[in-house]
Amino acid sequence: MNKLTIDKVKLQGKRVLMRVDFNVPLKDGVVTDDTRIRSALPSIKKVIDEGGKLILMSHLGRPKGEVKPELSLKPAAERLSDLLGKYVAIAPDCIGSETSEMVSKLNNGDVLLLENLRYHLAETKNDEAFSKELASFADVYINDAFGTAHRAHASTAGVTQFIDICAAGYLMTAELESLGRLLHGAEKPYVAILGGAKVSDKIEVINNLLGTVNNILIGGGMAYTFLKTQNHAIGNSLLEEDKIDVAQAALEKAGDGTKVKINLPVDHVVATGIDAESCTTTSGAEIAGSLVGVDVGPKTIEEYVEIIKNAKTIFWNGPMGVFENPAFSKGTLAIAQAVAEATDAGAFSVVGGGDSVSALNKSGLSDKISHVSTGGGASLEFMTGKILPGVDVLNNA
């Protein structure tokens, strides 16, 4: 990674504006999952320990330019206070004279969290005046919110036009280094495991990885569109009819001298619907009548696990089925276990995407993976080979 990092920046006495991702779930005004807040702690503690004056900014939910009290970042400030063991002030807004005054009164080591950026439409529009006002609070800008780095918003891109020193935080650095390792010089055998509902969400990743990986293991709803291209019966399973040609082109490209095998399910767990309480298993790749594919079958699990076991590099994004229903979670949990065991045997593994990470958390295997990405959409865009706006604007090292 050739971007300036937080370790290379003088922070003492500086006003440090840090973009974090505190878009956390709330219930009754309390943070119910503080994973994203915890992920930002190393960078936050670095600024505090170095004697910087820390101004944090984040969005929460989609208020779409309206002040919605239920989307206030106050619960995040309270949770951060608990984690740090010190008071974290919350500003009444992310801009304005009152907020500016609070910034001016910060002492070295103090922490101030600005109110929800998306209370202003100017944030997502990357408005210049809004960006300039945010930037006026700071001497140094740190982006530690990889999950928003694929958006050219005021807090991720616009502010950098008005601050000379713009660097990556620890979380951002870890994401870029880990994902970058998947795209450049990955040790082989290299296996990509891609699931989820839609081919359209993953096709650019598939096409970009065809020249890099040895195997692509397909699961989830997107598998049925691929199977349809091979004239398999898929019952009432999820199908993107307008993506059949795209899936076919990927299969043809994989078989056209790239030495990459795209593996599709050879059997399925099927049910009458995704909310059904019971299910059956097919003997092969065909799904009869009005049944719906809800998970990969035991033969597929066995085949995929064997491939994963021999891998030296693994990228996993997307579940194998409707894993939220315990009856349809076996495939996803088996993949999680296989990736963890391969990692323990020496493979380098990266898992991204909310559902895949949830499956890891559910199985208690998160700490068995080399890197668990917080990126979601950002990690997918990075894996297509695109330059992320929030990364591109940071100073080069």
CATH of the domain at 32: 3.40.50.1260
Which one from 74, 181, 198, 312 is the annotated catalytic residue?
Answer: 198
Distance (Å, rounded) from C-alpha 52 to C-alpha 104?
A: 13
Q: Give DSSP secondary structure letters for 117-151.
A: GGGSHHHHTT-HHHHHHHHTT-SEEEE--GGGTTS
Written as six digits, the tokens of 6 are 């937080």
Of the residues 172, 199, 223, the one at which a domain ends: 172
Terminal CA-to-CA distance of the chain, rounded, Å? 9
Both 222 and 341 in a single domain? yes
Distance (Å, rounded) from C-alpha 60 to C-alpha 21?
A: 8
Residue 66: Cβ within 10 Å count: 11
354 is catalytic: yes
Any residues with CB less than 8 A from the CB of 80 and at least 6 apart, and which? 22, 37, 44, 56, 88, 111, 113
Residue 178: phi and psi, rounded to 5, are -70, -50
**Measuring CA to CA, which residue among 322, 350, 383, 361 is closest to residue 195?**
322
Tokens 């299910």 found at: 279
Distances (CA, A) of 285 to 1, 89, 147: 43, 57, 36
Is 28 among the domain residues? Answer: yes
Is 31 among the domain residues? Answer: yes
Do 317 and 351 form a contact (C-beta atoms < 8 A)?
A: yes
Of the residues 135, 150, 172, the one at which a domain ends: 172
Which one from 36, 79, 202, 330 is the annotated catalytic residue?
Answer: 36
Both 144 and 123 in a single domain? yes
Which residues span the domain enclosing 312? 179-383
pTM of the model as a whole: 0.91
Q: Look at the chain and report how many structural domains it folds into.
A: 2
**Measuring CA to CA, which residue among 25, 19, 30 is closest to residue 61?**
25
Distance (Å, rounded) from C-alpha 349 to C-alpha 336?
A: 11
**Cis amide bond preceding 69, omega within 30:** no
Written as six digits, the tokens of 173 are 């650095």
For every one of its 397 residues, what pLDDT tens digit does the chain have, with 9 covering 90 and above?
Answer: 689 999 999 999 999 999 999 999 999 999 998 989 999 999 999 999 999 999 999 999 999 999 999 999 999 999 999 999 999 999 999 999 999 999 999 999 999 999 999 999 999 999 999 999 999 999 999 999 999 999 999 999 999 999 999 999 999 999 999 999 999 989 999 999 999 999 998 999 999 999 899 999 999 999 999 999 999 999 999 999 999 999 999 999 887 767 899 999 999 999 999 988 889 999 999 999 999 999 999 999 999 999 999 999 999 999 999 998 999 999 999 999 999 999 999 999 999 887 888 888 888 999 999 999 988 889 999 999 999 999 999 999 8
Written as six digits, the tokens of 128 are 């210049």
Is 390 among the domain residues? Answer: no
Which one from 65, 181, 354, 362 is the annotated catalytic residue?
Answer: 354
At 31, the amino acid letter reads V
198 is catalytic: yes
Distance (Å, rounded) from C-alpha 12 to C-alpha 52?
A: 5
pLDDT score of 133 = 98
Distance (Å, rounded) from C-alpha 329 to C-alpha 378?
A: 26
Helices 222-229/244-254 angle, 10° precision: 70
Both 238 and 279 in a single domain? yes
Do 89 and 112 form a contact (C-beta atoms < 8 A)?
A: yes
Is 147 among the domain residues? Answer: yes
Is 324 among the domain residues? Answer: yes
